[in-house]
Amino acid sequence: MTVNVTLNDLYFDPPNLAATAGGTIIFNMRNAGNLPHNIHIGGQGMDVQSQTLQAGQTGTWSVTLPSMGVYAIYCAVGLGTPNLHRIRGMDGTINVGAAADPAAMQTRRMAMTTIGGSGVGGTAIIQPRADGATHVQVNAMGLIPGAGYFSGTYTAASSNCSGGLLPPFAVPVAANAQGMATINYVGSAPASQIVSVSVRAGAPPANPQQVRACADPRIAVAPAAPAALPRTGDDATPLMALLSALAMAALGAGVALRKVSAQ
């Protein structure tokens, strides 16, 4: 990793860094102060120091931190123990952690966006496999209990999961009594080619009219449908129930207002 560190009178910018064990840090240093400064790293068995830069100078220094832990970083210029520049505030830390799993670093989690007022939402997880294929998991909600749903992945040519479809499709899964389903399948395309993931009603072959939700970072996530409203199908029943409830509330408020006026 490469970091840009400014050496000021008397502080580092930034003062605290994070790195991976075994990785090399390349410091691009710039002395923006009027005093000479350097970078000293100590702790976890390390005791190394960069060249000293005079006012206005720049320099590059690299160091490898082999062990996890917290390292001290400070300017070693100045007399005393601890030295003058450090004791006056020119110090910080480097927090070194374990190397991340390469596959985990590439895993993407996206929110599902409701399509066509279906009320369907959830999340999609794209996980690359060692063999070059991609494992896809869709956790969908707001489905019609007992109805079948499947999923598909799409390339950058798609728009709202309506084109650029990649084979294969997932095997249809029936939604449970709570209107939820988990769909797992393996796609042949590399994870880097997959842009979006859909939830579709029915069974393959797919067509755009089947799309109920789409996970695509290029489109905005719609608000979730009210959980308290029952679903009886892909129709306007939840909306009618909501409008009816609002009308009853308004009627009650009007009756109460007339009673107060009469008094």
Residue 74: CATH number of its domain: 2.60.40.420
pLDDT along the chain (263 residues), means of 10: 90 88 92 95 93 96 92 89 84 84 68 90 85 85 93 76 72 90 84 83 77 78 39 44 50 42 43
Residues 108 and 207 in one domain: yes
Residues 80 and 111 in one domain: no
Q: What is the pTM of this model?
A: 0.46
Domain span at residue 55? Answer: 2-97
Is 182 part of any domain?
yes
Domain count, the chain: 2
Residues 182 and 83 in one domain: no
DSSP per position, 134-198: EEEEEEEESPPTT-EEEEEEE-TT-SSSSS-EES-PPPPEE--TTS-EEEEEEESS-GGG--EEE
Residues 93 and 173 in one domain: no
Residues 107 and 88 in one domain: no
Among the candidates 79, 97, 115, a domain finishes at 97
